[in-house]
């Protein structure tokens, strides 16, 4: 970077619910200081902006050789951790900085996994039926955000009129939780009554509560609450929230949340309910794309970058990462990017494709104390996002985007991307017979891929169970689960396997085979295939300057 100082707006607060798009370019170009009210008063060094290093979309480990581990030590580790992990003893931890440990398993190791993993059976009444699954999920989840004084801020069914019916229904529980934090200083984070888990995150003066009846662990719910809190910070910033409650504990924060913010929170909770695998595994979904096309788009973004562009992303609908532009020593956290992509595509619903958006946003994992600015331009439903710390560089970024898009079209980049999105990824592409669906996450790249032809919502319960059964403290953990189906076909069964190592995570579901040995070999095939084609599946390098 040419300058190691970045000015952020530590005092800027958008109007309630206001995520502005820029007006059409006037004949006489005005300064953006005429369009925005506040100015940055205290420039901060870039090094000061990151309170702690993050690894989201980090390419720093690319090219490093993977460490070889002693086979006997791996086998002993598997023998120690191979048994089924009871998720009821799960230790609650909010996902902060993903660890990118470079590690390599012996390719033959997978052949022994079927002998040491355990089998766990449970009864399910549903099959791969989307409507039936959605019906089961109705009323099975609820989220609340409130102040430390018990003042309602948001519930999952909130609207612009701030309907408080849900708060009234759960008032007794909510007031008890508030009292436990304020009066007794309770450190309790979660409790279970019958089949319902209540989990809460205390970010005083904000308290967040999740209620789940679908068997999620405390850790999973805590990560969901952290996501919602991060969204709240993205709209308001932490200093503004703290100042709002500084002299008035009963302050109604909903005064600063408008339709756009409620819509954004509703979209995030819907993604959680409908099961967005990226939110579960803490990674960004990527698309399968020819390496030459990804390299060319990276080269164009790098060569056409203007001096005030701090970050850049090319993102497909659904928040699928195509390419990234970033400084050499600085990255954005996965959670910040998930929220950014959600906001961008939520805004796109209300604007035409030829409009350019200008979004002030606080990246809370990067720095919760101020705002950066995102310029957004859509091309064939694909978003080009350019991020700057300079609030007055809209027109510079607009010109930069035109140059990038012009070169994309010249080299038929968009055509190739659209074809890739159309074809997607199928289990037919992978030599893993009879696998219905899978999720593969590369820990090095913090990205994941999965078949795009299947409605993953129907598989939510199975993937949640697989994910919860993994021992996160073990270097290598494997879990096999079989569900005996009592629904439409009482003779059918569903089986799943989860396999987590320091390099990758793979989860797979089948409705045809239930033998562990066959699933293990299928998992090995998926891992080997994804490693072989990783430069097509993931953003492995990105445009680094």
Measured in whole angstroms, the distance separating CA 18 from the mean position of its chain's CA atoms is 23
Residue by residue, DSSP assigns 274-295 as HT-HHHHHT-EEB----HHHHH
Give the pLDDT score at 59.
Answer: 37
How many angstroms separate the CA atoms of 269 and 277, rounded?
A: 13
DSSP state of 23: P
> Is residue 20's pLDDT more than 70?
no
Give the pLDDT score at 176.
Answer: 79
Strands 372-379 and 437-442, sheet pairing: unpaired
Q: Which residue has the higher pLDDT, 23 or 94?
A: 94
* 397-451 pLDDT tens trace: 999 999 999 999 999 999 999 999 999 999 888 888 789 999 999 999 999 999 9
Instruction: Identify the burial level of 331 via C-beta atoms within 10 angstroms of its C-beta, where 0-12 means exposed, 13-18 middle and 19 or more buried.
Output: buried
> Is residue 133's pLDDT more than 90?
no
At residue 317, the 3 state secondary structure works out as: coil
Instruction: Give 375's strand partners.
Output: 358, 386
How many angstroms separate the CA atoms of 373 and 369, rounded?
A: 14
Candidates 364, 113, 130, 58; CA nearest to 236 is 364
* Full-model pTM: 0.79
Phi, psi of 217 (to 5 degrees): -85, 165
Candidates 59, 43, 44; CA nearest to 329 is 59
What is the enclosing helix (H) or strand (E) of 77?
A: helix 71-81
Give the pLDDT score at 21.
Answer: 52
Percent of the residues in the chain that have a pLDDT greater than 70, as a whole number: 70
Mean pLDDT (the chain) is: 78
Asked if 457 contacts 274 with a C-beta cutoff of 8 angstroms, the reply is yes
DSSP state of 526: H
Token pair, residue 300, equals 């164009």
Percent of the residues in the chain that have a pLDDT greater than 90, as a whole number: 52
Strands 119-124 and 477-485, sheet pairing: parallel
Residue for token pair 């609820």? 142
Asked if 542 contacts 325 with a C-beta cutoff of 8 angstroms, the reply is yes
Asked if 237 contacts 368 with a C-beta cutoff of 8 angstroms, the reply is yes
> Is residue 1's pLDDT more than 90?
no
DSSP state of 89: G
Other Cβ atoms less than 10 A from the Cβ of 131: the count is 8
Give the pLDDT score at 64.
Answer: 39
> Is residue 312's pLDDT more than 50?
yes
Residue for token pair 């299947």? 454
| Chain length of the chain | 545
> Is residue 25's pLDDT more than 70?
no
Give the pLDDT score at 34.
Answer: 33
* 436-456 pLDDT tens trace: 999 999 999 999 999 987 889
Other Cβ atoms less than 10 A from the Cβ of 155: the count is 23
Alpha-carbon torsion, ordered 186, 187, 193, 195, to 10 deg: 160
Over residues 151-176, the mean pLDDT reads 75
pLDDT band at 534 (very low <50, low <70, confident <90, very high): very high
Give the pLDDT score at 235.
Answer: 96
> Is residue 461's pLDDT more than 60?
yes
> Is residue 464's pLDDT more than 70?
yes
Query: Across 17-21, 172-176, 249-253, which has the greatest mean pLDDT?
Result: 249-253
How many angstroms separate the CA atoms of 454 and 371, rounded?
A: 38
Candidates 340, 449, 326, 439; CA nearest to 55 is 326
* 496-511 pLDDT tens trace: 999 999 999 999 999 8
List CB contacts of 485: < 8 A, sequence separation 6 or more. Answer: 124, 125, 127, 492, 493, 494
Residue by residue, DSSP assigns 403-452 as HHHHHHHHTTHHHHHHHHHHH---GGGSS-TT--EEEEEETTTTEEE--S
Half-sphere exposure (Cβ direction) of 519: Cα atoms closer than 13 Å: 31
How many angstroms separate the CA atoms of 37 and 25, rounded?
A: 19
Give the pLDDT score at 89.
Answer: 42
How many angstroms separate the CA atoms of 25 and 14, rounded?
A: 21
How many angstroms separate the CA atoms of 336 and 230, rounded?
A: 8
Q: Which fold has domain 138-281?
A: Beta-Lactamase (3.30.450)
Give the pLDDT score at 233.
Answer: 97
Give how far Cα 226 sits from Cα of 219, 329, 430, Å. Answer: 10, 26, 35
Q: Which fold has domain 5-25+40-59+306-409?
A: Beta-Lactamase (3.30.450)
The vertex-40 CA angle with 39 and 43, nearest 5°, equals 160
Give the pLDDT score at 179.
Answer: 77
Residue for token pair 């209620």? 211
Q: CATH 3.30.450.50 region(s) of the chain?
A: 138-281
Helical packing angle, 334-348 and 218-236, nearest 10° = 60
Residue by residue, DSSP assigns 172-215 as HHHHHHHHHHHTS-----EEEETTEEEEEEEETTEEEEEEE-S-
Strands 543-544 and 320-326, sheet pairing: parallel
Candidates 531, 493, 298; CA nearest to 404 is 298
Token pair, residue 326, equals 């970033």
Other Cβ atoms less than 10 A from the Cβ of 191: the count is 12
List CB contacts of 322: < 8 A, sequence separation 6 or more. Answer: 286, 287, 289, 294, 297, 313, 314, 315, 316, 382, 417, 539
pLDDT band at 486 (very low <50, low <70, confident <90, very high): very low
Token pair, residue 313, equals 């992303």
Give how far Cα 390 sits from Cα of 8, 146, 235, 238, 393, Å. Answer: 7, 33, 18, 20, 6
């Amino acid at each position: 970077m040419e300058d190691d100082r970045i000015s952020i707006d530590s005092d800027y607060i958008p109007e309630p619910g206001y995520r502005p798009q820029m007006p059409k370019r006037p004949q006489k170009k005005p300064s953006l200081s005429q369009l925005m009210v506040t100015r940055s008063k205290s420039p901060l060094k870039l090094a000061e902006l990151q309170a702690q290093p993050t690894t989201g979309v980090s390419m720093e480990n690319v090219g490093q050789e993977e460490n070889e581990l002693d086979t006997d030590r791996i086998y002993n580790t598997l023998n120690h951790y191979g048994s089924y992990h009871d998720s009821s003893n799960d230790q609650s931890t909010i996902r902060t900085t993903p660890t990118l440990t470079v590690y390599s398993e012996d390719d033959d190791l997978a052949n022994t996994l079927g002998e040491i993993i355990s089998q766990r059976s449970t009864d399910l009444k549903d099959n791969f039926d989307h409507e039936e699954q959605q019906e089961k999920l109705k009323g099975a989840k609820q989220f609340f955000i409130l102040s430390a004084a018990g003042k309602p801020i948001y519930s999952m069914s909130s609207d612009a009129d701030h309907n408080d019916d849900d708060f009234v229904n759960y008032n007794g529980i909510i007031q008890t939780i508030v009292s436990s934090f304020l009066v007794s200083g309770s450190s309790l984070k979660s409790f279970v009554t019958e089949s319902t888990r209540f989990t809460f995150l205390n970010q005083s003066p904000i308290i967040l509560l999740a209620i789940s009846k679908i068997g999620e662990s405390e850790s999973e719910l805590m990560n969901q609450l952290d996501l919602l809190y991060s969204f709240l910070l993205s709209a308001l910033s932490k200093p503004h929230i703290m100042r709002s409650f500084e002299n008035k504990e009963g302050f109604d924060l909903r005064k600063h949340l408008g339709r756009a913010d409620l819509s954004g929170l509703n979209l995030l909770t819907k993604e959680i309910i409908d099961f967005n695998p990226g939110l579960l595994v803490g990674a960004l979904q990527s698309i399968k794309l020819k390496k030459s096309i990804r390299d060319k788009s990276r080269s164009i973004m790098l060569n056409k970058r203007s001096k005030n562009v701090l970050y850049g992303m090319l993102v497909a609908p659904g928040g699928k990462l195509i390419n990234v532009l970033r400084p050499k020593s600085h990255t954005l956290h996965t959670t910040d990017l998930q929220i950014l992509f959600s906001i961008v595509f939520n805004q796109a619903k209300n604007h035409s494709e030829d409009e350019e958006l200008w979004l002030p946003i606080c990246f809370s994992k990067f720095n919760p104390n101020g705002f950066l600015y995102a310029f957004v331009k859509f091309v064939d439903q694909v978003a080009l996002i350019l991020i700057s710390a300079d609030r007055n560089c809209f027109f510079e970024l607009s010109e930069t985007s035109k140059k990038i898009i012009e070169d994309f079209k010249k080299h038929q980049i968009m055509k190739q991307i659209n074809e890739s999105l159309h074809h997607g990824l199928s289990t037919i592409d992978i030599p893993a017979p009879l696998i219905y669906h899978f999720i593969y996450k590369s820990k090095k790249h913090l990205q994941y891929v999965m078949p795009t032809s299947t409605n993953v919502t129907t598989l939510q319960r199975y993937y949640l169970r697989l994910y919860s059964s993994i021992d996160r403290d073990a270097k290598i953990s494997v879990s096999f689960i079989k569900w005996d189906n009592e629904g439409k076909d009482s003779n059918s069964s569903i089986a799943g396997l989860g396999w987590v190592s320091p390099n990758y995570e793979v989860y797979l579901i089948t409705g045809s085979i239930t033998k562990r040995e066959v699933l293990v070999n299928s998992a090995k095939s998926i891992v080997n295939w994804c490693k072989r084609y990783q430069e097509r599946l993931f953003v492995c390098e990105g445009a680094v300057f």
